[in-house]
Copies of this chain bind each other. A is one copy, B any other.
């Protein structure tokens, strides 16, 4: 938002905190901005009770990044000014305040985000399931045996009732079958091609447009404050790597996920073989974090019971932490589901989040908009 003049004053008043956001090195630009916006970069009626002062956003030294009046005063513009946002702002302020009791050195600021249902849509089926179904169809001519074997048969006959009953094991079986036997770049290329043309059945949009805008803002905000942001998913690591850099700003090496075994053969080919290496769900998440990251995260975001173990792992570290549990309660703009859902079941984790005072994010209440490229 480079042009201050077009920002309606009331919008700014809504989204800015008590202090004027400025970089001392650039007062002329800021003064101009203030003139143009008629001094609106002040709290409105619903102003928050937190401050930017600890967060580093109020620049104090020449050479600091200039914070312009407008939405950049508010690093999380897609979040309503409700307790979840306040908890995030407060947490980041505390762990980055060098003089405070909760300071955490930058090297130790590890944030772990679940993927499906936390960063992008997971209904009516995990995106990777959609991909696997399309791959089964594409590869069917080479596999006549699939015509009589479930769940392949259901896919090829478009038997939606049978598909809806597909177990996690069957899904895993299908995923193994269509994911194995390829090199890493080859597989990532296949996923990228698929993502470029696949459309979500309800929103008729590419899946990568159905990522949650508030979470993208949060990941950016964390990185600006020295956090290292990782995706830690039950989904396939190379599947997510196909879009994590462009879509989340998360480089491939920061993606942790379920994986097939890789085999480096005598012929010098590295192949993904049809054998599960790690199923990165539930207790597998803290285990993979230990292996890949080597540090207990201080911020974990998840949305289902599969994320409970890594949320506990953050909570039990004996130091400041923030656990965010995204609750899908917005049937109008996205979906509403929790305890009974086959996809992204949220039951035990919801109870524990409430009883331990973790931060439950209501999609309906906390998020102004849902998706990145659509008005949710």
Interface residues of A (CB under 8 A from B): 107, 110, 184-185, 228, 230, 237-238, 241, 245, 251-255, 259, 261-265, 268, 270, 277, 283-287, 290-296, 309, 312-313, 316
Q: CA–CA, A241 to B293, complex, Å?
A: 10
> Taking CB as reference atom, which chain B residue is nearest A284?
B264
**Is B252 touching A295 in the complex (CB atoms < 8 A)?**
yes
Question: Do A312 and B268 form a contact, CB below 8 Å, given A291-B237, A291-B277, A294-B237?
Answer: yes
In the assembled complex, how far is the CB of residue A167 from the closest CB belonging to chain B, in whole angstroms? 24
Residues from chain B with Cβ under 8 Å of A296 in the complex? 184-185
Residues from chain B with Cβ under 8 Å of A283 in the complex? 263-265
**Is A287 touching B263 in the complex (CB atoms < 8 A)?**
yes
Q: CA–CA, A103 to B11, complex, Å?
A: 45
**Is A287 touching B312 in the complex (CB atoms < 8 A)?**
no
Residues from chain B with Cβ under 8 Å of A294 in the complex? 184, 237-238, 241, 252-253, 255
Residues from chain B with Cβ under 8 Å of A316 in the complex? 268
Residues from chain B with Cβ under 8 Å of A230 in the complex? 253
In the assembled complex, how far is the CB of residue A109 from the closest CB belonging to chain B, in whole angstroms? 11
Question: Do A290 and B184 form a contact, CB below 8 Å, given A268-B313, A309-B264, A316-B268?
Answer: yes
26 contacts between A and B (CB under 8 A): A107-B251, A107-B252, A110-B253, A184-B290, A185-B296, A228-B251, A228-B253, A237-B291, A237-B294, A238-B294, A241-B294, A252-B293, A252-B294, A253-B295, A259-B291, A262-B290, A262-B291, A264-B283, A264-B285, A264-B309, A264-B313, A268-B312, A268-B316, A270-B286, A270-B313, A277-B291
**Is B292 touching A253 in the complex (CB atoms < 8 A)?**
yes
> Taking CB as reference atom, which chain B residue is nearest A285?
B264
Residues from chain B with Cβ under 8 Å of A110 in the complex? 253
In the assembled complex, how far is the CB of residue A84 from the closest CB belonging to chain B, in whole angstroms? 25
Q: CA–CA, A238 to B296, complex, Å?
A: 13
In the assembled complex, how far is the CB of residue A30 from the closest CB belonging to chain B, in whole angstroms? 20
In the assembled complex, how far is the CB of residue A334 from the closest CB belonging to chain B, in whole angstroms? 29
**Is B252 touching A264 in the complex (CB atoms < 8 A)?**
no
Q: CA–CA, A309 to B270, complex, Å?
A: 10
Residues from chain B with Cβ under 8 Å of A262 in the complex? 286-287, 290-291
> Taking CB as reference atom, which chain B residue is nearest A184?
B290
> Taking CB as reference atom, which chain B residue is nearest A278?
B291
